[in-house]
Amino acid sequence: MPTPRILINSQIRAPELRVIGAQGENLGVISLADALKAAREAGLDLIEVSPAAVPPVAKIMDYGKFQYEQQKKEREARAKSHSTETKSIQVTVTEGENDLTRKARAAAEWLREGHRVKVELTLRGRYKYMDPKFLNERLERFVKLVPEDYKVAEAPQRGPRGISTVLEKSGKK
């Protein structure tokens, strides 16, 4: 998304502006000529910061400083944004205790990073026809091994490959 073009000094076309002074004081609604004169006297630029407002808002400040502050805000916003993925772990009915523990630690690490974790109890061959209560217990046994605080985002569901559930990081601090 392209950033909107910032108008400065003589590029501004609005006849009246709400002007904010160099120290942050409100100069009120004044004509464009008076605003440009005040900016020139201060040795600074007149920058239109909110063109959609009625009347548009302009600020008297150094344009280089304004650009720097805008870039700083964008960097902070990018740093705070975090994309979450859904990581997947497959376990089987016959999986050993140590393997389950290792996979549970990996799931806990992903939860700590803020990702969702999909746990699939993969069923092959005759395991597909086992008692559903037994299979749900096996899935629950793995989920209980996860050492991180979590909440179940999606209840266990039967699918074509087995039973799966999705875990999310708990809201507790």
Instruction: Return the HEC string of 108-131.
Output: HHHHHCCCEEEEEEECCHHHHHCC
Q: What's the chain's average pLDDT?
A: 86
Using pLDDT thresholds of 50, 70 and 90, give the confidence band for residue 100.
very high
pLDDT in tens, 80-93: 776 778 889 999 98
Class for domain 86-169, per CATH?
alpha beta
pLDDT at position 52:
83
Where in the chain are all domains bearing CATH 3.30.110.10?
86-169
For residue 140, pLDDT over 60 is answered with yes
Q: Is 22 helix (H, G, I), strand (E, B) or coil?
A: coil
- For CA atoms 157, 161, 165, 168, give the dihedral sign: negative
Q: Determine which helix (DSSP H) or strand (DSSP E) holds 30, and give its type and residue range.
A: strand 26-31
Find out if CATH 3.10.20.80 is the number for domain 9-80. Answer: yes
Where in the chain are all domains bearing CATH 3.10.20.80?
9-80
Using pLDDT thresholds of 50, 70 and 90, give the confidence band for residue 105.
very high
pLDDT at position 85:
82
